[in-house]
Amino acid sequence: MNVDQAIAGLHDLSVNDRLRVAQAIWDSLPDSIALATTEEQDAELAARLSRHEANPSTSITRTELEDRLKNRR
């Protein structure tokens, strides 16, 4: 089986199984891999940081985010 065949076969898997495959691929990447962002992503990150610095009260903690996500289920 080649890569194209493996990718084509993903459509036959359930969403949960495809997420497991995606996680396994992500976990298999070396820690030292350099992930670069695009200029557009850098601009968006800078804009978000500026908005946060201008009004930090609009942010929530990680714990608050996790609690909200748990309550959605």
Please report which confidence band the pLDDT of residue 67 belongs to, taking 50, 70 and 90 as the band edges. very high
Same domain, 2 and 25: yes
Same domain, 2 and 28: yes
Range of the domain at 47: 39-72
pLDDT at site 33 = 87
Domain tally, the chain: 2
CA-wise closest residue to 21 among 35, 34, 3, 36: 3
Same domain, 54 and 28: no
Same domain, 27 and 51: no
Convert the pLDDT of each residue in 17-51 to its tens digit.
999 999 999 999 998 888 899 999 999 999 999 99
Q: Scanning the structure block, which residue is given the tokens 């930090």?
A: 56
Q: Tell me if residue 73 falls in helix, strand or coil.
A: coil
pLDDT at site 50 = 96
pTM above 0.75, yes or no: no
CA-wise closest residue to 9 among 21, 23, 26, 25: 21
Amino acid (one-letter) located at 47: A
